[in-house]
Chains A and B, each alone.
Chain A
């Protein structure tokens, strides 16, 4: 696999050749597509290795590729404050079971962003300490950013909780 001249991808490929499925650097965004089962391992390496040192998990989101197998794709954006460098890590997640390991033990910022992904896409994060919906309410039915959730769908009315 090509490291596209990126020292980060080179270090990752050298250390974990089996975990990385593909790499690209289109539009200048260095990207590694990794095995979802090894996501925590890969992220711990990227955070703790001196050559990479990604101390900030900037963004966590998902994309629903309805009709493809596996259906979902987790997208993580990392940033290294001291090296001023970015990296995107992606992992495919199947529809059944839609789950991936949590990164909350590596970065606290993963907590809320994973809750948002659970809320919007219904992807479960194994080991997450507090996997509640973030933006929507508990009684909400379905996960609205899935491509098979129609925009016009109405939700049942819920009364006051107590």
Chain B
């Protein structure tokens, strides 16, 4: 009869042999929305280190901008943060207006705030909905996406496009809001609010959701500032930095809204900040509608021959306007030589454009300061020591938008 070999005494006493293992996660992973690759070093299931590899969606935005006119860069900006395309339009156009030293008409500014805040709501809805989905909760995701559909419907009413809006122009907007838009918006806002509340009712107190978010992905105030993190992540650690309040642009100094801040800087705080920001944005949208309905028939485009397109009727009947139209289409505006940096508060944080013009009709340099890229850089310090599944909610609430991160 064979007997099992006896293990030597000291072998049994020895610790379990573990080695750090390297795990590839991405670039196309079902639980991350965005093409990004993580090289995770694991000790068991604990994250020892993480290398974030970005760039899978690089399309040469900055290079491409250097070969067209200033106008032709606007559709490209739509494809940066495609979940809030209007905000990218606004950022770029306002940077060009800074170079041109243009002041846009008030009605245009209100329209920009209105459309930008709708875009912010849809961005935040995507972030929360996708986060819920990736934490295995399908129902709240559908609430979020249903509300996002409503914001897209509003966008479609306003400018004809649902996602890539291309609505903002240098010195104005494409056109005034169509008749019936304020009524439709007023009808839609309570529905969006209701869906956000429904979303919150399913997840905010949900045991699984709370357990996955509380205490994970914590970042300190010092690290946030050191890594130049902005937006909801910076506000979740208690720094009330919001460019709309701190360096007001457009008409943000005339609207009434609050900047929610968190305390601990974990994923749960980020979730609460984002949800409150949606409510604040809807508040701003309502104030914009009030104001826009009172000031109907005011101009929405600046009357400056450098950027204004002449009225069609005049183009067909007058030589001067025909020439101007021809020049505007074939060449685009000439922007005075110089440099300008202009930053707006996009859904993810500070979206800045640093532009250099050599005085010609083609940009010399277009730099987009992408909040997504800069916010995703401290991911290793946020998840170090956490468990492998904690990457998912942390990455979700950073809300890296590939188009903007990789440009």
List residues of A whose CB falls within 8 A of some B CB.
26-27, 29, 55-59, 61, 63-64, 75, 77, 79, 81, 84, 86, 88, 107-109, 111-113, 116, 120, 133-137, 144-145, 149, 151
Contacts and interface: CB of A to CB of B under 8 A. Distances in A.
15 contacts: A55-B225, A58-B228, A59-B367, A61-B369, A77-B352, A107-B226, A107-B228, A109-B226, A112-B373, A112-B377, A120-B62, A135-B406, A145-B63, A151-B60, A151-B67
A63 B365 contact: yes
B54 interface: yes
Interface of B: 54-55, 58, 60, 62-64, 67, 98-99, 101, 223, 225-228, 239, 241, 246-247, 338-341, 343, 350, 352, 354, 356, 364-365, 367, 369, 373-374, 377-378, 406-407
Contact of A27 (B63, B67, B99, B227): B99
Contacts of B343: 58
B58 A135 contact: yes
Given A57-B228, A64-B365, A135-B54, 5 more contacts: A26-B338, A27-B101, A58-B352, A107-B228, A134-B55
Contacts of A149: 63
Given A59-B369, A63-B365, A75-B354, A81 B247 contact: no
Nearest to B377: A112
Given A56-B228, A75-B354, A137-B55, A61 B367 contact: yes
B350 A58 contact: yes
A64 B406 CA distance: 20
B101 A81 contact: no
A27 B228 contact: no
Contacts of A135: 54-55, 58, 406-407
Contacts of A64: 365
A112 B63 contact: no
Nearest to A116: B373
A28 to B, nearest CB: 8
Given A29-B339, A84-B247, A109 B55 contact: no
A108 B369 contact: no
A26 B99 CA distance: 10
Q: Which 5 A-B pairs have the closest CB atoms?
A: A135-B55, A109-B228, A59-B369, A61-B367, A112-B377
A108 B226 CA distance: 6
Among B98, B228, B369, find the residue whose CB has the most chain A CB atoms closer than 10 A: B228
Contacts of A116: 373
Contact of B377 (A61, A84, A111): A111
A113 B112 CA distance: 30
A59 B60 CA distance: 18
B406 A109 contact: no
A84 B55 CA distance: 32
Contacts of A133: 55
A133 B53 CA distance: 10
A149 B60 CA distance: 12
Given A58-B352, A61-B367, A135-B55, A144 B374 contact: no
